[in-house]
Chains A and B, each alone.
Chain A
């Protein structure tokens, strides 16, 4: 059951990564004309990703919370026995920054409400970029820890 939830957690995280990355790219790069990949990538309407990002963040976060006790009992204990402090610490950092990201979601939702308010344009860029970094770092740390015994189990 935990393995199934872990895979589900990872799949939702991948969808979330896609949404926030597209939104961040379209916020920072002005849209180009043409049918090339960069043109299509930068010409998406950034605001339409907001609800999807919030819903996916919440689902991924809740699933992470459900599987966290199994990590705490089985994986972290093993990490400490193996003296892999940096990896144990990486999870601690992930835990704290994704929670701060959770607290930023109401503000993120407000500044992306349509019609977009010009006074929030800087906050929109910075908040979206920060959430993008939070989600990417959380994903990478989770992915490495998921494979930790294969990588460092010998």
Chain B
């Protein structure tokens, strides 16, 4: 479905979309651990906390798959840069470090 040479694009897109999904809370599903209840989409907390992590992963995986398929014609004759596969995730990790720094500065 996706050629190996396009996987750098997938990994880069996954990291980028995952960061966006977390920052804007775009979860494909929500889990309510106290109720043991799954809800499709981003739901507000009911009894106890709501967990969005599973939904963010699905959003990122589906999003990266779609982006890779969409960009496929652009890379028909040449491979996407390999740095997409490691540099974009590295930048997203640094951005997460920054966005979560509040926990360490209290």
Q: Given A69-B31, A88-B103, A93-B96, decide whether A99 and B85 contact each other with a Cβ distance below 8 A.
A: no
The range of chain B's interface size is 35 or more
The range of chain A's interface size is 35 or more
Q: Are A123 and B49 in contact (CB under 8 A)?
A: no
A104 to chain B, nearest CB (A): 5
Q: Are A104 and B4 in contact (CB under 8 A)?
A: no
Q: Which residues of B contact A (CB under 8 A)?
A: 4-5, 7-8, 10-11, 14-15, 18, 22, 31, 33-34, 48-49, 51, 53-54, 56-57, 60-61, 64, 82-83, 85-86, 89-90, 92-93, 96-97, 100, 102-104, 106
A77 to B48 Cα, complex, angstroms: 10
A69 to B54 Cα, complex, angstroms: 11
- Selected interface stretch from A20-28, A40-48, A49-57, A106-114: A106-114
With A100-B89, A103-B89, A122-B82 known, 14 other A-B pairs at CB within 8 A are A72-B49, A85-B103, A86-B103, A96-B22, A100-B14, A103-B14, A103-B15, A104-B14, A107-B86, A108-B11, A110-B7, A111-B82, A119-B82, A123-B8
